Amino acid sequence: MDTILDKYPCTIKTAEMEQVITNVKNSVGEWATDKEILKFLFNCIDLTSLNTEDSADSIREFVDKVNGLQKEYPFVPQVAAMCVYPVFTPVLAGALKAEGVNKAVVSAGFPSSQTFLDVKRLETERAIDFGADEVDIVISVGEFLEGNYEFVGEEIRQIKNVMKEAHLKVILESGALKEDQEIWSASLLAMEYGADFVKTSTGKQQPAASFEAAYVMLNAIKTFHKKTGRKIGFKPAGGISTPEDALVYYGLVREILGEEWLNNELFRIGASRLANHLLTEIHAMETGEKKEIKYF
């Protein structure tokens, strides 16, 4: 495992990171008035329901909202995906009619990842069999922090092996990783072992997403791409509710990875509250009517 991480020495410099984040924040005001950028952000949302109170009926109602979105608001694009607990995969697969919306689930003992590997594999495999296109899992954070990198990597590999053509998003739970080096190493480890996306956080633990963690992860993606030619996606998630925050993540992707990453195959935002806020802003720009929209 040391040989894998040795291939990717950490290149993060704190002063450069702070300057890039500051520069991006300074551009947010301009981007916030561009409805096409706001529509793009909406099109990158993984619309999520991961509540203890979720039921088959509540998820079906949730899906109906997405199915009816463009009839209600024809000037917005669809979201990128809907994400639910794996037990609701059949509901999602059966009820979702909106074109271009992927069916995502969390799996493998989400959000703590504290269960047996065979359970993680089985939960993931069943979700795929019921129609999931994408799976979000969490690394075994405790084992990673203990330095058991091969254990963590092999779990990712074995889960990926049961996923057929579905995409794997690997959550680092970056708020639990206190050093830039840890976030860097976790990112590269996930990518080496089969992640199609790396994702900041579950949203179930604080701190969740941060601009600093995003900066480290995006530079790790850039380094990995230069060495392997593989394009890995990026998904900030957890606590992102305002268009202004989402625009900072958009700007970091644009600055570090470039325009070719600005599509919903390589950039997602895990932020359900953000959807209503973006709808409110876009609706005002399209109609001139300023009112708070609470569609989802």
* Residue tagged active-site, from 39, 103, 160, 199: 199
Residue 136: active-site member = yes
Q: Report the chain's terminal Cα–Cα distance, integer Å.
A: 44
CA torsion angle 93 99 103 104 (round to 10): -160
Counting residues of the chain whose pLDDT is more than 90, the rounded percentage is: 95
pLDDT for the residue 272: 83
For 89, other C-beta atoms within 10 Å of its C-beta total 23
- pLDDT for the residue 241: 93
Task: Output the six-digit token pair for 55.
Answer: 């039921």
Q: Is the pLDDT of residue 177 over 90?
A: yes
* Whole-angstrom distance, CA of residue 169 vs CA of residue 115: 18
Q: Rg of the Cα trace of the chain?
A: 18
pLDDT at 2: 58
Catalytic site residue from 46, 169, 235, 245: 235
**Which tokens go with 133?**
């296109």
Going along the chain from its start, the domains and CATH numbers come out as 2-287 (3.20.20.70)
Mean pLDDT, residues 260-285: 96
Mean pLDDT, all residues of the chain:
96
Q: How would you label 272-293 residue by residue, b for 16+ Cβ within 10 Å and e otherwise? A: bebbebbbbbbbebeeeeeeeb
Cα-Cα-Cα-Cα dihedral of 259, 264, 270, 273, to 10°? 100
**196 labelled catalytic:** no
Is residue 226 classed exposed, middle or buried when 0-12, 13-18 and 19+ CB atoms within 10 A define those classes? exposed
Point out the catalytic residue in the list 46, 136, 196, 245: 136
Closest of 231, 216, 209 to residue 182, by C-alpha: 216
- The whole-angstrom distance between residue 160's C-alpha and the CA centroid of its chain comes to 17
* pLDDT at site 4: 72
Give the C-alpha separation, 201 to 133, whole Å: 20
For residues 271 and 237, is the Cβ–Cβ distance under 8 A? Answer: yes
For residue 5, the model assigns a pLDDT of: 76
Which residues does 153 contact at the CB level (< 8 Å), separation at least 6?
Answer: 1, 4, 189, 192, 193
Q: Over the stretch 145-176, which tens digit does the pLDDT of each residue have? A: 999 999 999 999 999 999 999 999 999 999 99
71 flagged as catalytic: no
Contacts of 150 (CB under 8 A, 6+ apart): 1
3-state secondary structure of 267: strand
Q: Coil, helix or strand for 130?
A: coil
